Structure 1
Amino acid sequence: MTTAADIMHPGAQWIPATQTLDRAAELMARLNVGALPISDKNERLCGIVTDRDIVVQCVAKGRDPSAMTCGDLAKGTPRWIDADAGVDEILAEMESHQIRRLPVIRNKKLVGMISEADLAKHLSEEQIADFVEKVYAGS
């Protein structure tokens, strides 16, 4: 059985909720990623910040990314998947919440991220088409 650990991009990195958005953007650029999981003081997932979030919720509103924190953007219940979860569980989580990136957790620690690109490498064309239809239908 293919698991989240098989599909994920390993080596994902947290950004603390207290870190500013300009620092998050710098880290994204350095890692060449478009999203970072946000951790609370106990290194537990409390959200995800994306490059789009920084632009739309901070810069476009005239706010200062050096004064606004990642925690300011961490809203709602963060979604994640266990490293041992199967493909059906991964797709169900991403499709039902219409999300494009999913942190992978093992023993309460971040071990990777699953993105659309990761799915494309491991799923059939039919599975990818179904995923795209469900995730983007409400966008």
Structure 2
Amino acid sequence: MATAQMVRDIMTTDPVCMLDSATVTEAAEQMRRRNIGDVLVTDRQGNLEGVLTDRDIVVRALAEHRQPDSTLLRDVVSEPAVTIRPDEPVSRAVQLMREHALRRLPVTENGHAVGIVSIGDLATERDPDSALADISQSPPNK
């Protein structure tokens, strides 16, 4: 009998985390520098508060005429974050992402982020020949 694959087997480790006191501009700079579309937002103790996406920056900051240099991440982050533990089965990640319409799912242990699972990670793992898997494995546009 095959063992169920665990989240730890497909998650991206060492996710980009930023303090909730950082600014939207700082988050956008990190996203550009690392070619990513999200950062995990934490408090000073490293506890996950939520996920900030490039869409959050547009919808919750720019479209509301907030100043990105002075708007703090805690004021625009998607919260509370739905999370999963690394020792849970990948099927649970799929279920949570479907239920909550998520493209990214933070992986936590004791409230601290240890990884992230993206819809691309799932596509690559579940159906490596799919168009989404191909796109997810392609180098980012510059």
TM-score when normalising by structure 2: 0.82
Equivalence for 2:66: 63
Counterpart-to-counterpart distance in 2, 1:57 and 1:48: 13
Q: Show the 5 A alignment for 1:49-128.
A: 49-124=52-127
Counterpart-to-counterpart distance in 1, 2:99 and 2:58: 25
Equivalence for 2:139: none
Does structure 1 conserve the Cα–Cα contact (< 8 Å) formed by 2:52 and 2:78? no
Q: Deviations over 1:9-60 (max 9, x none)?
A: 1221211000000000001111211011110121101111001110111112
Letter in 1 for 2:47: R
> Post-superposition shift, 1:94?
0.9
More helix by share: 1
Letter in 2 for 1:93: L
Does structure 2 conserve the Cα–Cα contact (< 8 Å) formed by 1:9 and 1:112? yes
Q: CA RMSD in A?
A: 1.9
> Post-superposition shift, 1:108?
3.7
Bigger RCO (CA 8 Å, 6+ sep): 1
SS at match of 2:88: coil
> Post-superposition shift, 1:109?
2.8
Identity rate, percent: 33
Does structure 2 conserve the Cα–Cα contact (< 8 Å) formed by 1:38 and 1:45? yes
Note the residue ranges of structure 2 that are not aligned, 5 or more in a row. Answer: 133-142
Note the residue ranges of structure 1 that are not aligned, 5 or more in a row. Answer: 130-139
Pair 1:8-2:11 in alignment: yes
Does structure 1 conserve the Cα–Cα contact (< 8 Å) formed by 2:47 and 2:112? yes
